[in-house]
Every structure is written in structure tokens, then in C-alpha cells.
Structure 1
Amino acid sequence: MKAIARYLPIFEWGRTYNSTVLTNDLVAALIVTIMLIPQSLAYAMLAGLPPEIGLYASILPIMAYALFGTSRTLAVGPVAVISLMTLTAASSIAPPGSPQFIAATLILALLSGLMLIAMGVLRLGFLANLLTHPVVSGFITASGIIIATSQLKSLLGVPAKGEALPELVTTLIANIGATNLPTLVIGVTATAFLFWVRKGLKPLLVRMGLKARLADLVAKAGPIVAVAASTIAVIAFDLEARGVKVVGAIPQSLPPFSVPLFDAGLWQRLAVPALLLSIIGFVESVSVAQTLAAKKRQRVVPDQELIGLGAANVAASFTGGYPVTGGFARSVVNFDAGAETPAAGAFTAIGILIAALFLTPLLASLPIATLAATIIVAVLSLVDFKTPQAVWRYSKADFAAMLATIAVTLLVGVEPGVIAGVALSLALFLWRSSRPHAAIVGRVPETEHFRNVKRHKVFTDPRILTIRIDESLTYLNARWLEEFVLEEVAAQPALRHLILMCSAVNAIDASALESIEAINHRLSDGGIMLHLSEVKGPVMDALERSHLLHDLTGRVYLSQNAAFDAVIAFADADEEAQAPADLWLARGLI
């Protein structure tokens, strides 16, 4: 049963499912469904797709995640950043909205899903750690700015195009004279209302006597009010005849069974974008899932999350959808609404299915400006200007990587921004790994503790040098270690013993082993003995399988304090043995 639960977590949480949990899940599903309907339509149009595809992407993919995902409250479906990335990738194949474009989005969903499942089966969830948080934050911030800017055309009722900020702004300015006034009024009013709902409605409801949790949930249903009011306004004043663009007829149907086109050349062209979609989608999703799980002391398994998200994307590809992932806003709503299991997501999918079958005629007169307002308000919450300031104060290198990611994303486009972010994260990791922290340490007086000579008043001996290495030794930093040790040794002519303090070394690979052997031989040629201290058990096991311990000129000590005492005694004894010869030399007898 454990093996089955590893890949089907439903067998774990399903055992304790009862009527109370069912009620909580149903309430959460109702609230998330109300929020998800306009979001699904808006994000599909952001991706360059017909609005109903957003609904299709919110049905079977959610059910697939409920079966395979480990987060109890993550809400899967279309999200802003993934929608923008889908638009960028599929636009390289065909014009948005065309049959070829839709075929490309299905292939993207399938490829992304298969890649995620493969990574999950191979337990590659740790790869998400290669993207640093500052880089991800920078990419999401830049994407939010681009998305919000791209929606201004719908608020103004003017044409605009472009994947990067300069082109978007240029085309908006060029066409601003053609602004449609009714569209502008609807768009600005809807945007202002949604911002007020987000910030001001909850306090107002609380002052009116509503409980804080209920007031919060009512406030999150604000987009439905904007949708209803703007739709009624369009019908009542016949605004469509005055140039207000509306969603139009949406098919009343179940999600269609769709088979992604198999075209080797097309799959090859979309492979890299699909991989980038997978990485960004997984990082965004697992971050949200882990944050929410921690609040209830629950556990999210990254490797199984890969499989859950992969299954959701595969399901999207065969049901007329497009790439999906876990959304921050709807997951928080799902959590706050009291969802206790992934079954809440399945109930949400049923709610979306009912909407797709029976409610779509009510949305035909929904102004696109309202959907644009929904997107703008949602994505501006992703724009974070506080994190760059904090990162600047903490790490200039991380800030530089973050700033570069923002700049590339804004000025060149989303896909180059992702590539730049991945490249910068890897480059930063390699740079730091190739230059590990190491310190010359001495003993704190009247203790057995050893600390950095630059930070503490410590006792040292000119005949003894202790270097504490604060990272595992690998091929990336092996040469650096040699250069660092030999440089320090050259600066101390009285040196007779070198101790490498290995308390923070968790591994020594073959390249690093060769470097330590080279250090041992070069020090021996100079009359200096090499010692090791505080070597961890697994590292010692590996060293015992090598020739290093046999060839080592010094010894391996259990503790740094024992090593220091022993080496001082050794050095003192060596000096005493050399004293007569020194005395004779001083007297000119030899």
C-alpha cells in the first residue's frame, strides 16, 4: 500500500475522509469556482486562445492533480506567467488563435507534462533549487509588468503587439489616439473596483459586523461582481455597437477529446520552451504548496509534485486545454476557504464543468476590458519592489543576477528572460562553489574552540597553520584549495605544520582528493607536515579507500583541539632536538 500511496497520495488522505472534511472541501470549491471562472477566461485570452480553452484547462487537469498531487490545498489551473510563456512559445509557430497555434499549445502541454513526469519518476525535484529565489522573484516581477502592460490595449480598446516592454509601449503610444471611450470607462472602472475590493472591501464588511474570515472570502469573490455589472452595462446600453469588444459566443460543451499533433520537427522546436514552462511552473507551484503546507504542518513531496503537475498537463493536452500549474492567488483562497484535501480541487473542476455546460451564454456580452482588469489586478500583486532592496542589502551578487533577469525579461522577452535566469542561477552557483569560504583559525584562550583570526582574539603559533574549510571539496574548487593553501604557506617561513580542519566538509570527490595529495607532496618537499582534523565518518570511509592516509606526512585527529595540542608538542620536541645543532651553528663550530 505504501508503494501505491507513493504515486497515488489519494490512498493516504482518502483513508481519513469524512463528512466534516467533505463539507469543508465543498465550501472551498464553491468559492474557488466563483473566482476561477473569470480568471480562466482571462488567462486563456492572455495566452492568445479562445476563452473556453481556459475553462477546459480547469477541469480534467485539476482532477488529475487531485489524484497524483501531495499538496492538500494547491489549486491547479491556468496562471498568468505560464499563459504569457505559452503565448510567446506558440507565437513562434503560428498567429495567436489560429488552429496551428492551438495545436502548438496542446503540444506544449503534452511535452511539459511528460517532462515533469519523467523528472518526478527520476526523483529530480531537487533541480528546482538551481533557480535561486532572487532570480525567480525577478522573473515573476518582470513578467507581471509585461502582462499588465499588454492588457492596457484591452482597457483602451486599441491594437498593440509585442513580447517585450519597449515594443508594447511603443505600439500603445502610437495607437492611443484611437482609444474607445466606453471601453476605457469600463476598463478603468473595473480596475479601480477590483483594487478597492482587494484592499478596502474586507475592512468595510468587518466594520459592518461580518466575521473577518467570511468578509475575506466575500471580498475575494469581487471579480464576479465586476463581471456581472459590466456585462449588464454592455447589454443595457448596447455598448457592443459602440465599439466595446466582448468575449462573444462560448460553446456550451464538455472539454473535447484532443490528440496533440505528432510532428517531429514541431516537437523539436517546442522542446526548449516546454522545458522552460516545466521549470517555471514547477518552481512557482511547489513554492506555493510548501508555504501553505507549512501552516498546517503538512508535507509536500517535490518529486511527487512533479508527477502531479505532469499528469495535470498531460490531461490538459488531451482535453483541449493548455499548460497549467499551481496558482498563488487561488491556492491561498482555497486554503483560506478551509479546503482540507485535494478533493476540493476535484469539486472545483465539477463546478467549472457545470459552468462550461450551462453558464457560458451569460458570458457572451462580457467585455474584454473587464477580463483585462482582472488580469492587471491579479498580476500587479506579483510585482515586488521590496525584495530587490532587501537582496541588495544582503548580497550584491544575488542582486546583480536578479536585476539582469528583470532587464532581459523586460527588454527582450519572457523566454530569453527565463533562459537568462536559469543561466545566471547556474553561473552564480558555480562561481560560489568554485570559491568556498575558508578561514585561518586559532584557539580562543581558555577554551577548546577555534575561530577565525580576523574576527576573534585567538592564540596561534607561527609554526602551525590551521585552515578551516567550510564547504565540501569537489572538482569545482579543488584547484582553488591548492592555490589558497600554498599561498598561505608561502607567506609563513617559520611554518612546520599545516592542519586542515574538515568539520564542514561533507564530501571529497576524486579531483579534490588529487589536490590534497598534491598539497601533501609539495608541503613534504618543503619540510612541512600535513594533518587533518574533525573528518566526518563518511568522508573518512572514502579516504580509507585511497592512498592519501598511507602517504600523509602527518596524522588524522578526532578533534581540532587534540590536533593543535599534539602538533604543538611535536613542534616543541622537534625544536629541542634541533637546539644543539643551532647552538653549534651560532658559535661557528659548524
Structure 2
Amino acid sequence: MIERLRPFVPVLDWGRSYTRAALSNDLIAALIVTIMLIPQSLAYALLAGLPPEAGIYASIVPIVLYAIFGTSRSLAVGPVAVVSLMTAATIGQIAEQGTAGYAVAALTLAFLSGGFLLLMGILRLGFLANFLSHPVIAGFITASGILIATSQLKHILGVSAHGHTLPEMLGSLLSHLPELNIITLTLGILATGFLFWVRKSLKPFLRGLGTPPVLADFLTKAGPVAAVIATTVAVWSMDLTGQGVKIVGAVPQSLPPLTLPSFSVDLFRALVVPAILISIIGFVESVSVAQTLAAKKRQRIDPDQELIGLGAANLGAAFTGGYPVTGGFARSVVNFDAGAETPAAGAFTAVGLAIAAVALTPLVYYLPKATLAATIIVAVLSLVDLSILKKTWDYSRADFTAVAVTILLTLGLGIEAGVASGVVISVLLHLYKTSRPHVAEVGLVPGTQHFRNVLRHDVETNPAVVTLRVDESLYFVNARFLEDMVQQRVTEGCTLRHVILLFSAVNEVDFSALESLEAINRRLTDMGVGLHLSEVKGPVMDRLNRTDFPKKLNGQVFLSQYGAWTELTAHC
């Protein structure tokens, strides 16, 4: 029974070989990640428009469930910036922040997201993440980072602003500038500057003082906690709340409560599309991080099982007062660098956060929201990579267009439009690239049996025999393109007697492409020109043999291109 469950419950696999050394490493990693996650979880809940405790709740049970069902040994699951912003953008259109309806909508969004991820995992649809190209993802993440950082400026300035797009946010900030709170601004600037210094310079500074590497690394990871403590003490000791500084306030001192999402059909209808988009983006981000970290230790990630693990984590969030979660880049890297050996490190992190939820929440009463905003800004600005525009411009104008359009739509129309446009653009980009496949006329390299492009190499050719190498699978999008190319090439040579289609790079021929091949065969037959195929892959030939095309072919199917060339040129 256990053997049958092992592929679906990875904890049964790695748990068998769990050692004391792994336990020690996991506990150290959990301590470091817990210290980092306390302020970060509070900050991301603020970004999502939820009470601060929701961030901690969303980081406890989901982590445990992922540790049971996930395959990555370093991925740390919980609230992340992009998903938090998408949550706020989605629910803000349905309910007002601070209301019970808003919190219920967040639970329902997590429930739908978890259900969708779980269904994808059961159906083994992890490959769907490949429909989002890397340039488009980079553009979306960059635009999201800009939106998130801009959305937090209101807390740094101490003003009341709103908006889900960059123009809306900037316009609202400008209109509310007269409300600027100098004390809040000072706290925000100091906290932001300190956090940037911690991220970039604290570790080299400590190493320069002779601090041991492990201690220097630990102190650097704990830097945000120092900002939290310093600004909290400042607000409390100088009674800055009376001067307009907004604080976190009372946070319930309890473990995650048992909650229920809404099963309202109307709410489901309003949230189902955003839930799908959040699931896709969250999965892509999570599996990318997981695969990157796994490769460093020569471990394997199962994308389909990752869907199940993330689905279980989101369902756990829905029933314990949280909101949608995924694997975070920053926390996962910290978890990896801290020496996490197994997913048990995540479970230990959950224990640490549970202790914090019970014992430490009263200490953040005077924590200024400006500090949490600074935490978010410093975290997300590392996601902004405008250099992707120059890189794609230099390499591929099509990719540049996709990146630029994704960034502009995300900034101008909002996060959901950006995600949707990213998916559509990725698919359209693929269709565009494959609609005009590279087809090269090739000739024989003298003294060899190899064939290369006649425009790039000095090769042997025969005016009576033309070989066209098709460098793409053939399907409905590009089938007519091949027809037109063959027709154009045939009309260029009066002495032409044979056309060979070299299929060494063709992995698929769909029905539309089959009809195009039949049309090419008929036209060449009418012109007295033979049509031949060479180096057709087994699966492609198997499918062609199910039809009568091989019988109607006016030429032959050759095992090798050299064999085709030798036989046909011998009779010309």
C-alpha cells in the first residue's frame, strides 16, 4: 500500500532516509527562514489588502501540506508579492477592504486556485506552463514589480491613495500629496535605505570586520527584523501614532483558525478566471525556482506532482484563514542557502511561525505600515529587470515586441490584463515563429555524406535534383507555407526532375499538413516532377502509412538523404 502511495506522497520517499544530519540542517534553515518570514508575511498580507495575521496564517498549514505532497526539497511555499498583488486586484473589484466579504473572497480565491492546481496535477497537465515564454514571464514579473513598488508608496508617504494600474496609482498619489506625513515619510525612507544597505552591503561589511561567514549570513538574513524592531520601538517610545503614523495595530494572538470559503455560484463565477490566472503564474514561478535549486543538487522535480503539492497548499490556506500561495523566489533561495536538506525544513518553519503567531504578535502592535511597505519595495525591486528589453531587442524583435507589449499592458491595464496578454502573446509568438518554418535548399558537402545549406556552404548540387530540408514540424499553421515554397522553387528550374523533402527535423505531420503534401504531390505529378521523402522519422512514417499517401506518392521514401541523392542523380 505504501509503495503505491509513494509516487503521490513524496514524504513517504524522502522520509525513509531522514537522518540526524538532515534534521540539524533543516532546523537551522527553518530558524533563518522563520526570522525572515515574520515581517515578510505581514507585509504581503498588507499588499493583498488583508489583515496582517492572514500572511502568517497563509505561511503555516500550506507549508506543511507542501512538505507532504511537493517534490522540491528547497522550495518554501507561502504568500508572494505578485500573487498578493493579483489577489488585491481581483478581490478589490468584488468587496471593500476590511470587510468580512473581502476576507471570504480571499479564502474562496485560494480554494478555487487550489482546486484548479489539483485538477491539473491529477490530469498531468504540468506541460501547460510551457505556453508562457520566458521573455513574456520576465516582462510580466518586471511590470508587476513596478506596480507593487508603486502601490506601496502611499504607505511610505502616509497618504490615502488607490488604483490598480500605474497611471491610476501615480494620479492618485499626486492628488493626495497635500496629505503627506513627514514623520511617516522619514520612517519609510530610513527603513527602505537600511534594508537596501542590508541586502547589498551588510554581509561584506561584517566579513570585513572578521565575522564568521555563517554568522554574517545569519545577521544579513535577519536584517529586516532589525528594521521592524527599531521602527516599532521608535513609534512606541515617541508616541508617533498621535502624529498620524499608521501602525499594524492589534493582531490576533492565535493559531490559524478553521475557516470556510464561500460556495456562492455568483462569487465562483466572478473569481474563477482570476483564480486560473493566479494558479498559472504561481505555478510557473514556483516550478522555475524549484527546478533551478534542484539542479544545483542534481535532484529531480516532477511538475505534475508540484501541481498537486501547490494545490494542497492553497486548499490548506482556504481552510485556515489564508489566501493564495505559491513557492517564493526569495524565501526559497534563503532556505536553500541556509542548508535545507528536505521539505521537513518547511514543516519546521511552519512550527516557528505558529509559535510567532501565538507569542509574538502583540510585539508588532506599534509596527508602522511604512516599514512593511519598505520591506515589500526592497523585495520586489529585485524582480524588476528592464535589461530584458535590450536583450530581446538585440536577439529577436519578435520576443522584444512580446516583452514590451506585456509590460505596457500590465502597467496600463492592470495585473489581470497583463497575465492574460502574456498567455495570449506567448501562444501567438509560437504560432508566428512556426508559421514560417525555416526551409533550406541543401547540397552535398564534397567528400562526405553530409548535406548543408547551399547559401552557407560550398556544396555539390544537381540542377535536376533539388533537396529542401524542412526544419519544423508540419501542422495547419505552416502547411500552406511549404506548398508555396515548393511551388516557387519548382518554377525556377526548367531542367528539374526530382524534389526531395528532407524530413530529418520533422517530428509531426498533422492532417492539414498531410493534405498539403498530397497537393504538392499532385502538382508535381502534373509537371512531370517526382516527389521524394528522405530520413522520415519512425513515428511520422507510421502515421503516414495509415493513409494512402505513400501509395499515391509519385516518388520514393528513402532511409537516408545520401541514398536518395546517389540514386536520383545517377539517372540525371
Same fold (TM over 0.5): yes
Rounded to whole Å, the distance in 2 between the matches of 1:221 and 1:517 is 68
1:191 matched to 2:192? The reply is yes
Amino acid of the structure 2 residue aligned with 1:342 = P
C-alpha contact 1:440 1:465 (8 A) present in aligned 2? yes
Distance 1:152 1:507 in 2: 52
Q: Which residue of 2 aligns with 1:425?
A: 426
Confirm whether residue 255 of structure 1 aligns to residue 274 of structure 2: no
The one-letter amino acid paired with 2:553 is L
The 1-side partners of 2:558 and 2:512 are apart by 23
SS at match of 1:88: helix
Kindly provide the amino acid, as one letter, of the partner of residue 265 in structure 1.
D
Amino acid of the structure 1 residue aligned with 2:136:
V
Q: Distance in 2 between matches of 1:472 and 1:300?
A: 28
Aligned residue in 2 for 1:90: 91
Deviation of 1:214 after TM superposition, in Å, equals 3.7
| Cα drift, residue 269 of structure 1 | 1.2
Structure 1 position 148, deviation (Å): 0.5
Hey, what does 1:148 align to over in structure 2?
A: 149
1:145 and 1:3 map into 2 onto residues whose CA distance is 46
Secondary structure of 2:443's aligned partner: strand
- Find the aligned partners of 2:130 and 2:67 in 1 and give their Cα distance: 25
Q: Structure 2 unaligned runs (5+)?
A: none
**Paired position in structure 1 for 2:334:** 333
User: Which stretch shifts more, 177-186 or 398-407?
Assistant: 177-186
Q: Using the TM superposition, give the Cα deviation of residue 210 of structure 1 relative to its aligned residue in structure 2, in angstroms.
A: 2.3
* Alignment-derived partner of residue 235 in structure 2: 234
How many angstroms apart in 2 are the aligned matches of 1:389 and 1:21? 44
Deviation of 1:99 after TM superposition, in Å, equals: 1.1
Cα distance in 1 between the residues matched to 2:219 and 2:466? 67
CA shift at 1:259, angstroms?
1.0
CA drift of 1:489 comes to: 1.2
CA deviation map 1:120-148 (0-9, x unaligned): 11111010000000101000100100110
In structure 2, C-alpha distance between the alignment counterparts of 1:491 and 1:215, rounded to whole Å: 72
Question: Which sits farther off after the overlay, 65-74 or 506-515?
Answer: 506-515
CA distance in 1 between counterparts of 2:342 and 2:205 reads 31
Q: Distance in 2 between matches of 1:399 and 1:544?
A: 42
CA distance in structure 2 between the aligned counterparts of 1:121 and 1:438, rounded to whole angstroms: 40
Q: Distance in 2 between matches of 1:485 and 1:106?
A: 58
Letter in 2 for 1:251: P
What is the alpha-carbon distance in structure 2 between the residues aligned to residue 9 and residue 213 of structure 1?
Answer: 31
Structure 2 match to 1:311? 312
1:357-396 mapped onto 2 (5 Å cutoff): 357-396=358-397
Q: 1:402 deviation in Å?
A: 0.4
**Separation of aligned partners in 2, 1:484 and 1:314:** 53
State the partner residue of 2:61: 60
Segment of structure 1 superposing worse, 483-492 or 110-119: 483-492
Q: Which amino acid aligns with 1:568?
A: T
Report the equivalent of 1:163.
164
1:280 maps to 2:281: yes
Tell me: CA distance 1:2–1:435, structure 2 relative to 1, closer, same or farther (3 Å). Answer: farther
Could you tell me which residue of structure 1 aligns to residue 520 of structure 2? 519
Matched, 1:555 2:556: yes
**Local SS of the residue matching 2:7:** helix
Inter-partner Cα distance in structure 1 for 2:98 and 2:512: 54
Residue in structure 2 matched with residue 479 of structure 1 by the alignment: 480
* 1:400 aligned partner: 401
8 Å Cα contact 1:65/1:311 also seen in 2 = yes
> Partner residue of 1:345?
346
Q: Secondary structure at the match of 1:262?
A: coil
For residues 187 and 364 of structure 1, the distance between their equivalents in structure 2, rounded to whole angstroms, comes to 17
Cα deviation code 1:205-237 (max 9, x no counterpart): 111122334422321211000000100101111
C-alpha distance 428-88 of structure 1, shift in aligned 2 (>3 A): same
Determine the structure 1 residue equivalent to 2:302: 301
Structure 1 residue 112, shift from structure 2 partner:
0.5
Q: Deviations over 1:345-377 (max 9, x none)?
A: 001011111111111000101000000000000
Supply the AA of the counterpart residue of 1:380.
L
Q: Aligned partners of 1:540 and 1:413: how far apart in 2?
A: 48
Give the residue type in structure 2 aligned to 1:227. V
What residue in structure 1 maps to residue 492 of structure 2?
Answer: 491
User: Deviation per CA, 1:457-516, whole angstroms, max 9, x where unpaired?
Assistant: 211111111000111112222222111211211222221100000101112122211211
Report the CA distance between 1:411 and its aligned residue: 1.0
Q: Does 1:415 align with 2:412?
A: no
C-alpha separation in 2, matches of 1:130 and 1:482: 28
Q: Does the alignment pair 1:446 with 2:447?
A: yes
Indicate the residue corresponding to 2:101 in structure 1. Answer: 100
Figure out how many residues of one structure are paired with residues of the other and give that number.
571
CA contact (8 A) 1:217 1:333 kept: no
The Cα offsets for residues 50-106 of structure 1, whole Å up to 9 and x where unpaired, read as 000111100101111001100000000000000000001111111122111111111
One-letter code aligned to 1:278:
S
Alpha-carbon distance between aligned partners in 1 of 2:34 and 2:214, rounded to the nearest angstrom: 18
Which of the pair has more CA radius of gyration?
1
- 1:578 is aligned to none
Aligned residue for 1:322? 323
Equivalent residue of 1:7, what SS? coil
Moved more, 444-453 or 21-30: 444-453
Deviations 1:510-552 (A, max 9, x none): 2211211111111011000011111111222222222111111
Shifted more, 190-199 versus 445-454: the winner is 445-454
| Counterpart amino acid of residue 11 in structure 2 | I
CA distance in 2 between partners of 1:183 and 1:214 (Å): 32
Separation in structure 2 between the aligned mates of residue 24 and residue 387 of structure 1, nearest angstrom: 36
Tell me which residue corresponds to 2:10. 9
Runs (4+) of structure 1 exceeding 4 A deviation are none
Q: What corresponds to 1:585 in structure 2?
A: none
**Alpha-carbon separation, structure 2, partners of 1:440 and 1:101:** 62
Matches of 1:217 and 1:518 in 2, distance apart? 69
| Counterpart-to-counterpart distance in 2, 1:523 and 1:421 | 42
Contact 1:62 1:76 (8 Å CA) reproduced:
yes
- Indicate the residue corresponding to 2:205 in structure 1: 204
SS at match of 1:466: strand
CA apart distance, 1:392: 1.3
1:244 is the counterpart of 2:245: yes
* Residue 535 of structure 2 is aligned to residue 534 of structure 1: yes
Q: How does 1:19-38 map to 2 (within 5 A)?
A: 19-38=20-39
CA offsets per residue over residues 428-482 of structure 1, 9 Å max, x none?
Answer: 1111222221111111122211111111121111111100011111222222211
TM-score by length of 2: 0.98
List runs of 5+ in structure 1 lacking aligned partners: 572-590
User: What is the distance in 2 between the residues matched to 1:59 and 1:76?
Assistant: 9
CA contact under 8 A between 1:489 and 1:495: conserved in structure 2? yes
Counterpart Cα distance in 1 of 2:372 and 2:155: 9
Distance in 1 between residues matched to 2:130 and 2:214, nearest whole Å: 34
Give the Cα separation in 2 of the matches to 1:528 and 1:473: 22
So what's the TM-score if we normalise by structure 1? Answer: 0.96
Q: CA deviation at 1:2?
A: 4.7
